[in-house]
Chain A
Amino acid sequence: MRKATKLIIFLFLISVLPLYSQQKLTISGQIKDAQTGEDLIGAVLSVKELPLKSIASNAYGFYSMTLPSGAYEITAQYTGYKPVVEKVILDKSLRINFKLSEQSKNLEEVVVYGRRKDENVTKTVMGFQRLNTKEIKNIPVLFGEKDLLKTIQLLPGIQAVGEGRSGFNVRGGAADQNLILLDEATVYNASHLMGFFSVFNSDAIKDISIFKGNEPSEYGGRLSSVLDIKMNDGNDKKFGVSGGIGLISSRVEIEGPIIKDRGSFIISARRTYADMFLALSKDTSLNQARLYFYDLNAKANYRIDEKNRIYLSGYFGKDVLGFGNTFGINWGNATTTLRWNHLFSNRLFSNTSLIFSNYDYKININSGVKMNIISRIQDYSLKQDFQYFGGANSTLKFGFNEVYHRIIPGAITAISNVSLKSLTNKYAMEHALYISHMYNLSDRLSVEYGVRLSLFNLLGPGTFNTYDSSGQVVDAVKFSSGQSVKSYFNPEPRLTLNYVLNQQNSLKAAYSRNVQNLHLLSNSTSGNPTDLWIPSSNNVKAETSDQVSTGFYHNFNENKYEFSAEVYYKNLQNQIDYKNGAELNFNDNVESQILTGIGRAYGLEMFLKKKYGRFNGWISYTLSRTERKFDAINQGNYFPARQDRTHDISVVGMYELSRRWSLSATWVYYTGNAVTFPSGKYNIDGKTMFYYKDRNANRMPSYHRLDLGATWLRKKTARFESSWTFSLYNAYGHDNPYMINFQDSKTDPSRTEAVQTTLFKFIPSFTYNFKF
């Protein structure tokens, strides 16, 4: 490790030092939407005179480019926007803000320049996808509720856990191995109503990036992926209201300037109203039921001066479920992020964030027994990021992150008739220091390398048990408040190489190590809002993964099409599974119920996308294998993980039929998950019992589904716009299994049968959208 650190420092020095010795000048500024003032993330600046030099704006729309003095023609480009060209005479450092206008909807096949139009080929990043809300707005979804989290599951290597289930799996990772960030704040539970909807109201979202394990070193904390979601900033030119009325939910959004061109705000809200129909019912068992969720996203930003800008963003969402006053449960996330952008110079950008994140659930019971249970996980975090723009050849990122985790697994209040004791609270501190350097070694070869040093500290107070393999306590030590119980230090090296063969083709390779110190205990197929997060401890070790990947990237037909093929191999340590019949609910000794093992995952991902034109869309295919190995399961042999999926295919097509009508369709097919079905049966006390042999030795039937969508732009003027969206989910009504149960036959008591439950067939929906 020492050697590696030295090498990194050496590489860093040779690449950065020369920049100080040359006299060069810097152009910097913001890239924005001309109409709304929204920052454009990842917009690309290219220099006509230096065709190989180009740079992208960062997460706040800021760019900085250092060039020798001279005259240049600089073009700013962004998908869906008209490029802007500026001629500059660079004789002193300049500040130039680019304002791009949205490409008007035009049936002529216009060439719309992409971000960097050949980003797929030239960018030194692997296992990466970026989507903006506009790109996906026409993709049909369940109940017409457009959903970014559902849409990314149509990309290679990203799998839905299953219909009607929360979460997604990336390259064979478990659902808890994805870091989901909303304006930098961790979202611990990203699903509403058990996973039918995601918590992200797509009206409030600007941009979504996903890294499939090869994230740059500023990210850390989860093994499989980072999903980085950025909220809209709001229009800083004029007030506007938009919204939609749908079958399941309605949403409204208000945005406008705080001070014109200097600051803006945006508030988006959404609520479902199935419960309002229930209240109309005459059936007393239905009209007292509560079942709904709501979301609120709010963000404000203000530019103090050219060098300082502050942002405040927040999310608040809740699911509520209950019956009269006898029973209720609600759960939800709340996040707040306060950010300060500061320019130390036109080449050194700084962002400081104070982040709060909370996930909790509350249960109240008032029937026979009376009690309230509250469970929560809270993060208080400070994040400091620096970005140094060394020139078109070199960008350096470094910083640190401090997170304080507070976990209340279950606190009991208002109790009668039960002697339930609150569970022991857990506290932990996570420290990380990172450096990452993107450097063009030559015109063809570029590298991004870095390291993240992470230190996780489980803190007192409390008595901390150590368990043997049978789950018995072998050691119990008492710690006082703030005392370190156990720590895990891990260097996490990351490296990506890109070799550009020519304008159309490149080869890339990457290695990365990721570490995870928070673990979700979930032993049901669907995932529950009451699943518990636990920190690494004496018994639960830090999970680690090492991933190597390589890929070929090809753009053709004037960059209208892009193709990529990536292969990966991943080695996983300290993976979690559960003992037979593990008791995970309300158990202070829950760590005694856990098994520790290893895993491996490998696969091939292919992606073909048509980016522009009246017809666009993509085909993605993943061939993969994911296995786990635990001493106590299947005689210690490798066995397929639940999310092991041999084939996974998605086809997405969008077609602009006319100025008013656009059509879309998606088709998905995947191999059924690995499951455990009975191998035999016997009888106990008159009840048929099933005999199980090997874990995950069976397969669910394969899944496939076609969805259709259509959007009708009813009216569009400068002041008012309205449209209708229609969709049909599972258009050919295939019986996809949600679950398969084994039971005594209802018709012939001398036999047993397998019964398949299907959730959704031919689900139509329509939504009315407006904007003024």
Chain B
Amino acid sequence: MRKIVFIPITLILLFCLVTACKKVIHIDLNTASPKIVIEGNIYDRAGPFAVKIFKSVNFDASNVYPPVSGAIVKISDTSGYSDVLTEKLPGLYVTSFIMGIPGETYTLTVNAEGQTYTASSTMPEPVDIGKVYFQNSFFGNTIYPGVNFVDPPNINNYYRLLYSVNNAPNSEINVTDDRLSEGKTITYLIRPADTDVKLKAGDNVTVWLESIDQGVYEYFRTAGREGGQSASPANPTSNISNGALGYFNACSLRARSAIVP
């Protein structure tokens, strides 16, 4: 819904930007002390699953993020299983036995550098993708991938969509909920903000549909908000305690592929 309402703004900006010019500028930005960033996913299957722990850097630094090593990372579920993760690479921790089962609530505990961070996430039931389709944009003849799927009735559902083109993953954030389509077929058209990557006939597109819980949805919804047009950009609402950046997501995952006709 949000997307729909923002179309006019996008269109007008498009019109304006025809005459506009862009250039890279240098701005002196404030610096911040490094913040811990935790990213963990559990899917509805056997593991192993990974938790990544890194630090943020200043804007002017290169995109190399220092790993946080030596942390004690644990994932437990409501059935009483508890899995202490092992650090495989610096900052990369993996599970050994815990399984992802829809309906379970998973709790992540991270002890790092004298601080404790916790998060929990409940894995929803999976939702299958009905169809992957392609649609032309209003302007510029860009091809957008879209999916449809049937929303399970009578419960609040939240979805995250990811896709890859010829096995190259796209990192943009796409989330939606069933607030406006409770129990109906949801069609979701993915409009990439980065217009440099254009789909063409013959491209193989894979779309993943994650059924996520409300806390994870809030994280990605607010993360998707940042950008040039918001008057008050802010950090996304994390489901991890103690001021850590990032998220912990227990989700059911379904995928489907299609070739651009």
> A residues touching B (Cβ–Cβ < 8 Å)?
164, 193-194, 284-286, 289, 291, 321, 323-324, 326-327, 329, 363, 365, 367-369, 417-420, 522-526, 528-530, 577-578, 580-581, 583, 585-586, 642, 676-695, 697-698, 701, 735, 737-742, 744-746, 749-761, 763
Contacts and interface: CB of A to CB of B under 8 A. Distances in A.
Contacts, number: 229
Contacts of B15: 291
Given A286-B139, A585-B5, A757-B22, A524 B231 contact: yes
Contacts of B11: 291, 321, 323
Nearest to B146: A368
B220 to A, nearest CB: 9
B173 interface: yes
5 contacts: A194-B9, A525-B230, A686-B171, A753-B24, A758-B20
A318 to B, nearest CB: 14
Contacts of A757: 17, 20-22, 228
Interface of B: 1-2, 4-5, 7-9, 11-12, 15-17, 19-27, 29-32, 34-35, 37, 39, 54-59, 61-65, 135, 137-141, 146, 169, 171-173, 180-185, 187, 189, 196, 218, 221-223, 225-237, 245-247
B257 to A, nearest CB: 20
A524 B187 contact: no
A740 B146 CA distance: 30
B174 to A, nearest CB: 11
A683 B54 CA distance: 9
B143 to A, nearest CB: 12
A755 B24 contact: yes
Contacts of A586: 1-2, 5, 180
**Which 3 residue pairs of A and B lie closest in terms of their CB atoms, listed nearest first?**
A581-B222, A687-B171, A679-B32
Contacts of A327: 7, 138
A551 to B, nearest CB: 32
B39 A329 contact: no
Given A368-B146, A682-B65, A741-B228, 9 more contacts: A524-B229, A529-B8, A530-B5, A581-B222, A679-B29, A691-B32, A739-B229, A754-B26, A757-B17
Contacts of B230: 523-525
A417 B185 contact: yes
A494 B64 CA distance: 60
Contacts of A752: 59, 63
Given A580-B235, A683-B54, A691-B235, A368 B189 contact: yes
A523 B230 CA distance: 6
A735 B63 CA distance: 29
Contacts of B184: 417-419
A433 B11 CA distance: 45
Nearest to A752: B59
Nearest to B21: A758
A526 B12 CA distance: 11
A628 to B, nearest CB: 11
A245 B199 CA distance: 43
A420 B19 CA distance: 37
B246 to A, nearest CB: 6
A754 B59 CA distance: 10
B187 A326 contact: no
A687 B17 CA distance: 25
B138 to A, nearest CB: 4
Contacts of A698: 27, 29-30
Contact of B63 (A522, A578, A688): A688
Contacts of B19: 759-760, 763
B245 A691 contact: yes
Q: Chain B CB within 10 Å — which of A324, A691, A695 has the most? A: A691
A177 to B, nearest CB: 15
B54 A761 contact: no
A760 B140 CA distance: 22
B228 to A, nearest CB: 5
A682 B56 contact: yes
A192 B58 CA distance: 40
Q: Chain B CB within 10 Å — which of A525, A684, A753, A760 has the most? A: A684
A285 B141 contact: yes
A662 B48 CA distance: 78
Contacts of B8: 321, 329, 363, 528-530
A444 to B, nearest CB: 48
Contacts of A687: 171-173
B181 A418 contact: yes
Contact of A323 (B139, B218, B245): B139
Contact of A369 (B59, B187, B225): B187
B35 A691 contact: yes
